[in-house]
Structure 1
Amino acid sequence: MQIVRPYQAGDRDACLALFDGNTPRFFDPSERADFAAWLDTSTHPYLVILRDGRIVACGGHAIEAGGSVASLCWGMVAQDAHGQGLGRALTQARLDAIRAVPGIASVRMNTSQHTQGFYAGYGFVTVNVTPDGFGPGIDQWDMVLQLPV
């Protein structure tokens, strides 16, 4: 059974374990402190997906100043659960939450070369690529999804 629910402070270690399991292919080790700080201080919506009581995915979104642009934040799936539809479930839940906010015209995100094709499947378009933008061997792909108004 799979459950999607809001992040709770007690989920911190499990979310950091997801990050660690996806390092160094999807995240550079230098990003861990930023992710931990984000978990500790962010007031933006963040979700976790549980399967059989274990957190197997997490990710959130933020509404940027001005209220017409949203961004996807810190999405990840347990390394041993890749390819099982969790990324799709997490992305869909976040996009549904964003679409429920009136006035959002676009969604921004940055990801790596490893997952840009996944997000392109949702209609995200690449606007910039920075080689090694996240760290050695992890390019930063800035992408935008235009939403119908």
Structure 2
Amino acid sequence: MQFRSYQSEDKNDILKIFHSNCPKYFDVNDEEYLIDFLDNYTDENYLVVENSNGEIIGCGGHYTKEDRHGIAWVMFESGSLGAPNLITIAKAFYGEMENRIIKEGKNLPIYINTTQLMEKLFNYFGFETYEKIKDGFGEGLDEFKMKKQVAGS
């Protein structure tokens, strides 16, 4: 696995990954928000994950505001990792994002909005749920707002 910053040429691969996760993890109607994000808000902190063949199989990244860090649009192509590898690769990828956040030296908490399907994974990484919104991401996709304190935040 290799992590590198997103480039505009990666957009179609990211959209393919998004659609491979609809409707289980994402509402297909959120495609326009993803496109807007990719076109207007990505920077060196939005990463893609390449497999050993150089194919993009995942993406995600972080942003920083005055009072917080946020994790945005994390996803892997459905079926690309296999259950045995999921935790290992997710740990490495999340670790890369968190290391980049820590290097910024701002000591701000990290926030993520995810679904009930991913709550346990982010609990594993130290996030705690502070709000739940039924169907917040579409029918059957409850929105879980989560937060993690990092050193000094």
Taking structure 2 as the reference length, the TM-score comes to 0.91
Quick check: 101-110 or 9-18, which moved more?
101-110
Cα distance in 2 between the residues matched to 1:18 and 1:76: 7
1:33-69: CA deviations, max 9, x gaps?
A: 10011001114420001001110110011101x2x41
Q: Tell me the residue number matched to 2:60.
A: 59
The DSSP-based 3-state class of the residue aligned with 1:4 is strand
Indicate if the aligned counterparts of 1:70 and 1:107 stay in contact, CA closer than 8 A: yes
Moved over 6 A (4+): none
Q: Tell me the residue number matched to 1:75.
A: 74
Indicate if the aligned counterparts of 1:105 and 1:146 stay in contact, CA closer than 8 A: yes
RMSD value, Cα: 1.1
Cα distance in 1 between the residues matched to 2:120 and 2:138: 19
Cα distance in 1 between the residues matched to 2:136 and 2:64: 23
Structure 1 residue 105, shift from structure 2 partner: 2.2
Indicate if the aligned counterparts of 2:116 and 2:141 stay in contact, CA closer than 8 A: yes
Indicate if the aligned counterparts of 1:77 and 1:87 stay in contact, CA closer than 8 A: no
Q: Tell me the residue number matched to 1:50.
A: 50
Cα distance in 1 between the residues matched to 2:151 and 2:36: 33
Unaligned runs of 5+ in 2: none
Structure 1 residue 93, shift from structure 2 partner: 1.1
Q: Tell me the residue number matched to 2:147.
A: 144
Indicate if the aligned counterparts of 1:108 and 1:144 stay in contact, CA closer than 8 A: yes
- Does 2:96 match 1:97? no
Cα distance in 2 between the residues matched to 1:69 and 1:26: 25
- Does 2:136 match 1:133? yes
Structure 1 residue 102, shift from structure 2 partner: 1.2
Query: Could you tell me which amino acid in structure 2 is paired with residue 55 of structure 1?
Result: I
Query: Could you tell me which amino acid in structure 1 is paired with residue 127 of structure 2?
Result: F
Structure 1 residue 89, shift from structure 2 partner: 2.3
Q: How many residues align?
A: 146
Taking structure 1 as the reference length, the TM-score comes to 0.93
Cα distance in 1 between the residues matched to 2:10 and 2:109: 29
Q: Tell me the residue number matched to 1:27.
A: 26
The DSSP-based 3-state class of the residue aligned with 2:145 is strand
Indicate if the aligned counterparts of 1:49 and 1:56 stay in contact, CA closer than 8 A: yes
Identity among equivalent positions (%) equals 27
